[in-house]
Structure 1
Amino acid sequence: MRVVAHSYARRMDIRRSLRRSRTGVTLLSLAALLVCGCSAGKPTGTAGSTARAALAALPRATPSALAPYYAQKPSWRGCGVPGFECATMKAPLDYAEPGAGDVRLAVARKQATGPGKRLGSLLVNPGGPGGSAVGYLQQYAGIGYPAAVRARYDMVAVDPRGVARSEPVECLDGPEMDAYTQTDTTPDDQRERVELVGAYKKFAEACGARSARLLRHVSTVGAARDMDILRAILGDGKLTYVGASYGTFLGATYAGLFPNRVGRLVLDGAMDPALPARRLNLDQTAGFETAFRSFAKDCVRQPDCPLAAKGATPAKVGENLKAFFRRLDAHPLPAGDPDGRRLGEALATTGVIAAMYDESTWEQLREALASAMKEGDGAGLLILSDAYYERDAEGRYANLMAANAAVNCLDLPAAFSTPEQVEKALPSFEKASPVFGEGLAWASLTCTYWPVAPTGEPQRIEARGAAPIVVVGTTRDPATPYPWAVSLSRQLTSARLLTYQGDGHTAYGRGSACVDSAINAYLLHGTPPAKGKRCS
């Protein structure tokens, strides 16, 4: 299991995918968000994170070597989706050596529809790293954002370097990814531990072999600097931006580097840039447990929940799910897969994780679990897992997992140096989540064998001098736990924290009129939410 955090659009896709499993219709694939940060160091609390150095702003003047990039004129053209235009922009492969080559980035926009005066461009990013911002714009944001926002802004997206349409990082092929995603991440003995370590090594080696040129140049700092070039070539003096999940880290990084160019920034489902990955991963493990407990409380009230007999407690729901996973570890279920895959513990766990991002998916999860547990049919959970990994019906994977690892492993050092360190940390992860802790602890080895050294480190982002920035946190968010939003809002000197008291990942566009009206007022009128504002 590799941890994925899904945008609103991606959650809708998962819901559709599970419904369509009943009729055999293939799943769609939209932008996904991942949070599986890779950094070393002892766990620190939110208060402890404030002792870290702050990200330094870049000089206000554009270096002469970058002037040609800032002077680009995009050539817009149709790109197959009615109402949208696409273009390509260039950025230096290495900002330290602008003359050493370029990277070409895919950009898309949908022009403001009116009425009302155009306010400029609104850049959106669904997160990841690895989620396609262009796909997110074309399939959700450009048609699903509030009409009043779309009327006044050109909706714009750029796939970050290494992602989707922007010179994507490549690692394993389809069959190799099938094997990788089925690898047991809860090893029972030395042989299984060796197999798991071997899978991580093979993944890393493939990335190094197939993406050697890009692998050292896909950092979040680089992507943030690319966004400033895009801001300039769009003709905007300041950046207006909505980022979700990892997109909040990207947006906060932009604010730290270019505080004087911050316009209206919304950071929804915030990450804490000051935490090392061992703490990020541990916090996230606890976040998934919080989400699962909400599901379990709901489950015991439902007559169709296969994890709860009459009178069962939420704790018993978790115990029953763990027992189900153990049975799958020994005896995988048929799943109607044309490629012969069966539903084992790894894919089933991923399927359950996928449904934790949106409470409206709980009913479909109960149905998938019932089919697996009562009828021996793993198809529903397999479809959820495939949507999570962006695997299509032909067995092809998007570059989601490859880009995610490439960016995370460059941004921060590895969470663990050896499998023995993971074993020592298992008790803390299992305490954080009895259901998911073991698998998430072993998943923290993703960056351990990475072929290139990291260039970043945990650091506070203050963005002194920036205009007001809205940070949004959901109290029972599984993938970006609420304390991260609190911490980021305390780091950013101009931040306003907007709290959504509820379930699910991120808050904007999820049905809360309170959240949506507060963010819309900020985007349209520049009025940030009142201090301490809470919605439910």
Structure 2
Amino acid sequence: MDTSRLLRTTGTVIAAAGLLLSGCTPGSSGPSAAASSGGAGVSAPSAQPPAVPDALRPYYAQKLQWRDCGVPGFQCATMKVPLDYDHPESGQDIDLAVSRKVATGPGKRLGSLVVNPGGPGGSGIGYLQAYAGIGYPAPVRARYDIVSFDPRGVARSTPVECLTGAGMDAYTQVDQTPDDAVERALLVGAFKKFAAGCQQRSQRILPHVSTEDAARDLDVLRSVLGDEKLTYVGASYGTFLGATYADLFPGRVGRLVLDGAMDPTRPAIDLNRDQTAGFETAFRSFAQDCAKQPDCPLGRGGPDQVAARLKDFFRKLDADPVPSGDPSRPLGESLATTGVIAALYDETAWPQLREAITQAQNGDGSGLLGLADSYYEREPDGKYANLMFANAAVNCLDQPPAFADPEAVDKALPSFEKASPVFGAGLAWAALNCTYWPVKATGTAKALTARGAPPIVVVGTTRDPATPYKWAQSLASQLDSGVLLTYEGDGHTAYGRGSDCIDTAINRYLLDGTPPKQDQKCRPSTP
């Protein structure tokens, strides 16, 4: 159960298989001009920013060659960026895959709306083609080209690779609640093997996949799309990417929506502990709902009683895994816990979770295994997307590790278990993954202020499992122009998830530039 700081939109968790069906074949990039909203291969004048260093100008002035990418209505291209922004003159470039859905009209085109689904490690192109490009509100799609890219190290963009499919199968089954010295050694060994695999297969790119690097790529993308200002919707980890961009380039900020916000001031241990508490909050909402349902596999009573039964269920699986339909992957505690966590991202998955737990209690672990596979983006043929590899690579570069050694985990266990009696121990041990990373962290926890930027909308959901509401409150207060918009409900992120109040406020901001009132609160829409 490697869930350490994996922050994702609900669509990429429950419907991951759908995202992976929509491939994008990279095009080619040239040395001049910029992309437009027109047909494939047509370009518009560049929005060349005046303060671009000479060594970066060829990247900002490149021309994207748009082409059909096999998914109806979408175009794809390849954008070149320097491997190392400190040495762009070295000639070492990497390719970033980009895709767009051109504005449909009617109404005056407002430019490009760049979207990011989170992760880190989530495929922006998969998200665009499976959801944002067809599921964002029609008035927004009418006026904007909806654009996304796979950030460096992710999916189609010079991906980080670490383990084979068989290696990941083994890794995801390692017990992350070690009961003795032998199990502890196995867990540490698994983290070391994972890190060594990343170093062996991805040594060139590992030092250059930080969020700051991705934010600089985002500014190149803004320019080659022909936009003077960046219009952007970032979900989950995408809020950290967007806030980092705003802090680096406040004068190039247009309309930014940061939905399901992270708090950049929190060090790694606090991020992990806060997220542990977030999953506990989400689980308690699920438990309260489950106890009212006739098919609840965890019985009646309050959340504490339901939690105790789930923990006991995990304990039994730890001792005696059940068949899952895959002889090499019986359902043990680690895969079962990951399956439960995957479903907690979105309250619409609660019925599926109840059914999966019931099946496992009756000796069939296939339902929870399927949820875990969606979380890890594992295909039926045993191949994994590189989500988990990129996730670790970015997280371990963005901040120093949460723990120096297993003994530090021991000391922190009580606080994690207080945050969540069910998930605390496993999530504490999962945070040990960066301890053995082969590249030293280049970032650190710090406030992002984006001084001088226009209003930036920060959206927080009060019972968000992955990005606790207090993170949104903190980010909105850090940003000089932050405007907090609150969704009083369940699930991870809020835009496009059924709240007319949230969608109306964000649509108005994107379409005419009017931000919501400070501290506006929205509730679930009445059916």
User: What's the TM-score bracket when you normalise by the shorter of the two chains?
Assistant: over 0.9
Amino acid at match of 1:88: T
Query: Gapped runs of 5+ residues in structure 1?
Result: 15-26, 32-58
Separation in structure 2 between the aligned mates of residue 8 and residue 331 of structure 1, nearest angstrom: 31
Amino acid at match of 2:11: A
- Report the secondary structure of 1:236's partner residue: coil
Shift of 1:6: 3.0
Match of 1:66 in 2: 56
Q: 1:222 aligns with which of 208, 213, 230?
A: 213
Matched, 1:259 2:250: yes
Match of 2:410 in 1: 423
Match of 2:46 in 1: none
Match of 2:311 in 1: 322
Separation in structure 1 between the aligned mates of residue 422 and residue 373 of structure 2, nearest angstrom: 21
Match of 2:154 in 1: 163
Matched-pair contact (CA < 8 Å) for 1:60–1:258: no
- Report the secondary structure of 1:252's partner residue: helix
- Report the secondary structure of 1:329's partner residue: helix
Separation in structure 2 between the aligned mates of residue 525 and residue 329 of structure 1, nearest angstrom: 54
State how 1:128-147 maps to structure 2 within 5 Å. 128-147=119-138
Amino acid at match of 1:500: Y
Separation in structure 1 between the aligned mates of residue 328 and residue 163 of structure 2, nearest angstrom: 19
Separation in structure 2 between the aligned mates of residue 28 and residue 198 of structure 1, nearest angstrom: 33
Summarize the Cα distance change of 1:148–1:12 in structure 2 as closer, same or farther, 3 Å threshold.
farther
Match of 2:33 in 1: none
Amino acid at match of 2:129: Q
State how 1:75-474 maps to structure 2 within 5 Å. 75-100=65-90, 101-309=92-300, 312-337=301-326, 340-373=328-361, 375-474=362-461
Match of 2:7 in 1: 5
- Report the secondary structure of 2:465's partner residue: coil
Matched-pair contact (CA < 8 Å) for 1:5–1:357: no
Separation in structure 1 between the aligned mates of residue 390 and residue 283 of structure 2, nearest angstrom: 27
Aligned residue-pair number: 493
Matched-pair contact (CA < 8 Å) for 2:19–2:126: no
- Report the secondary structure of 1:447's partner residue: helix
Match of 1:500 in 2: 487
Amino acid at match of 1:343: L
Shift of 1:66: 0.4
Matched-pair contact (CA < 8 Å) for 1:496–1:529: yes
Shift of 1:341: 1.1
User: Sequence identity, in percent?
Assistant: 69
Deviations 1:423-452 (A, max 9, x none): 110000000000000000000101000001
Q: 1:513 aligns with which of 493, 500, 506?
A: 500
Shift of 1:5: 3.2
- Report the secondary structure of 1:154's partner residue: strand
Amino acid at match of 1:238: K
Summarize the Cα distance change of 1:60–1:184 in structure 2 as closer, same or farther, 3 Å threshold.
farther
Match of 1:40 in 2: none
Q: CA RMSD for the aligned pairs?
A: 1.2
Separation in structure 2 between the aligned mates of residue 488 and residue 328 of structure 1, nearest angstrom: 39
Separation in structure 2 between the aligned mates of residue 466 and residue 522 of structure 1, nearest angstrom: 15
- Report the secondary structure of 1:455's partner residue: coil
Amino acid at match of 1:73: K
Separation in structure 2 between the aligned mates of residue 367 and residue 479 of structure 1, nearest angstrom: 23
Matched-pair contact (CA < 8 Å) for 2:19–2:130: no
Summarize the Cα distance change of 1:323–1:8 in structure 2 as closer, same or farther, 3 Å threshold.
closer
Shift of 1:11: 4.4
Match of 1:534 in 2: 521
Query: Gapped runs of 5+ residues in structure 2?
Result: 22-48
Matched-pair contact (CA < 8 Å) for 2:161–2:201: yes
Amino acid at match of 1:350: T
Q: Taking structure 1 as the reference length, what is the TM-score of the superposition?
A: 0.91
Separation in structure 2 between the aligned mates of residue 148 and residue 209 of structure 1, nearest angstrom: 47
Deviations 1:372-400 (A, max 9, x none): 11x21000000000000000000000000
Amino acid at match of 1:355: A
Summarize the Cα distance change of 1:482–1:223 in structure 2 as closer, same or farther, 3 Å threshold.
same
Shift of 1:221: 0.5
Matched-pair contact (CA < 8 Å) for 2:346–2:490: yes
Amino acid at match of 1:467: P
Moved over 4 A (4+): none
Separation in structure 1 between the aligned mates of residue 14 and residue 119 of structure 2, nearest angstrom: 17
- Report the secondary structure of 1:365's partner residue: helix
Deviations 1:37-94 (A, max 9, x none): xxxxxxxxxxxxxxxxxxxxxx961101101101101000010001111000110100
Separation in structure 2 between the aligned mates of residue 234 and residue 287 of structure 1, nearest angstrom: 37
Amino acid at match of 1:297: Q
Shift of 1:12: 4.7
Separation in structure 1 between the aligned mates of residue 255 and residue 445 of structure 2, nearest angstrom: 25
Match of 2:38 in 1: none
Matched-pair contact (CA < 8 Å) for 1:274–1:458: yes
Matched-pair contact (CA < 8 Å) for 2:14–2:371: no
- Report the secondary structure of 1:470's partner residue: strand
Matched-pair contact (CA < 8 Å) for 2:246–2:253: yes
Amino acid at match of 1:530: K
Matched-pair contact (CA < 8 Å) for 2:458–2:476: yes
- Report the secondary structure of 1:471's partner residue: strand
Summarize the Cα distance change of 1:121–1:136 in structure 2 as closer, same or farther, 3 Å threshold.
same
Separation in structure 1 between the aligned mates of residue 347 and residue 64 of structure 2, nearest angstrom: 41
- Report the secondary structure of 2:142's partner residue: helix
Matched-pair contact (CA < 8 Å) for 1:29–1:390: no
Shift of 1:99: 2.0
Of structures 1 and 2, the one scoring higher in RCO (CA 8 A, sep 6+) is: 1
Amino acid at match of 1:67: R
